[in-house]
Amino acid sequence: MMVIGLMSGTSADGVDAAIVDIRGTGHPLAIKLLGHYGRSYPPQLRERILHVAERGTVAEVCHLHALLGEVFAKTVLAAMTRFGVRPNQVKLIGSHGQTVHHLPEPTAERGVGTVRSTLQIGSPAIIAERTGITTVSDFRSRDMAAGGEGAPLVPYTHFLVFRNKKAVRWVVNLGGIANVTVIPRGERLASVQAFDTGPCNMLLDALVTIGTNGRMTMDRGGRLAQRGEVHPGLLQWLLVHPYLHRHPPKSTGRELFGKAYVQKVLAQSRRWHLSLNDLLATGCQFIAHTIRDAQQWTKNVPGDVVCGGGGVRNTRLWAELQKTFDPIPVRTMDACGSSSQAFEAQAFAVLAYQTVHGVCANVPSVTGARHSVILGSVTPGAQGFSKSWDI
């Protein structure tokens, strides 16, 4: 089956579409990336997403839900055009959507017990209508209904692609939030561990945006951080955040590490009169430390570390990771035959494929769910349910 996966992460800088050929049943799938297409958000749209995620009104969320549906649909159509794929060749779209709020910690509600909640927007109805392709969306909610955190979900595909019979492997996503997947030697999905380690690009991007008064929104290639020096005092302050010392399962986002957190970081940096370059250099070492410190929650010391996501292009962050894990080798997904940039979008193509085949694709050892569940909600395309795919 040819499937297109869509992913827009916590950094909210754009949407990635991965065209994937998937074959097989159950967990041993054959997965081949056929093409990747990335679409950056215009600055005004990104600002709207970040605003809605922190303090949006119901009307703003409602409108953005439809608007992003249109953007996602156009991204799918552009990806098919780029790679010469006809709509009738694609059987399915898996859209993670844009997370605007994620509250995995259970709250006690009178009369109903505990409640966990999450919200990803980007109308699947619009995607299915514009493309004619059946669309699977809302992947996190079913896991949360089963008592899980609803994230991270990509570790399922990490396991399928990167498992190694001979050695423990850590797979790290350097996205807006960093997360680590620990894959023990052997082939037991139930033994996989994974969790969000803390902020990554969303912290660095916010520091650059504020530090340059909006002239820049990211430290491209880590060039500014390369010119800075790590400040030990700020580093120690960053490392005491309560989330970093919480036992997994755990997941996080802008609710903990958004605008209010960044303002506190900036206030601390002003105490030491730090330059933007020093602030970014310290942030890179902080991120590397939070990933390394995942060892406190697992007995599986890595034989190697495989990294994907936008952070692999930050030379200072990459150098800090290599120094922190030395002598353990740190490699990119690209060096291991996969795609750092396309992997998360590819993962949601895989999850959508498993949804329509009735295969449970959450990992309870990762999310804390009481049991395995079939993820996502299905919005039929032009052909309806019966002819959309062959199962």
Query: How many other C-beta atoms can be found within 10 angstroms of the C-beta atom of residue 355?
Result: 22
Q: Mind listing the pLDDT tens digit for each residue in 196-206?
A: 999 999 999 99
Q: Mind listing the pLDDT tens digit for each residue in 256-275?
A: 999 999 999 999 999 999 99
Q: Mind listing the pLDDT tens digit for each residue in 59-92?
A: 999 999 999 999 999 999 999 999 999 989 999 9
Q: Tell me, what's the pLDDT at 391?
A: 52
Query: How many other C-beta atoms can be found within 10 angstroms of the C-beta atom of residue 327?
Result: 5
CA distance 39 to 47: 16
Show the domains of the chain with their CATH numbers: 2-150+343-379 (3.30.420.40), 156-336 (3.30.420.40)
Who wins on pLDDT, 240 or 27? 240
Q: Tell me, what's the pLDDT at 110?
A: 81
Radius of gyration of the chain (CA): 20
Q: Mind listing the pLDDT tens digit for each residue in 313-349?
A: 999 999 999 999 999 999 999 999 999 999 999 999 9
Q: Tell me, what's the pLDDT at 78?
A: 98
Contact 51, 60 (CB under 8 A): yes
CA distance 197 to 226: 23
Could you identify the residue written with the tokens 């215009």?
42
CA distance 195 to 249: 6
Quick one: tokens of 37? 């297409």
Q: Three-class SS string for 215-277?
A: CCCCCHHHHHHHCCCCCHHHHHHHCCCHHHHCCCCCCCCHHHHCHHHHHHHHHHHHHCCCCHH
Burial bucket for residue 61 (CB in 10 Å: 0-12, 13-18, 19+): middle
pLDDT band per the 50, 70, 90 thresholds, residue 367? very high
Q: Tell me, what's the pLDDT at 387?
A: 55
- Position 177, amino acid: I
Helix (H) or strand (E) holding 201: helix 201-211
As a whole-number percent, the residues of the chain with pLDDT over 90 amount to 90
Is 0.85 topped by the overall pTM? yes
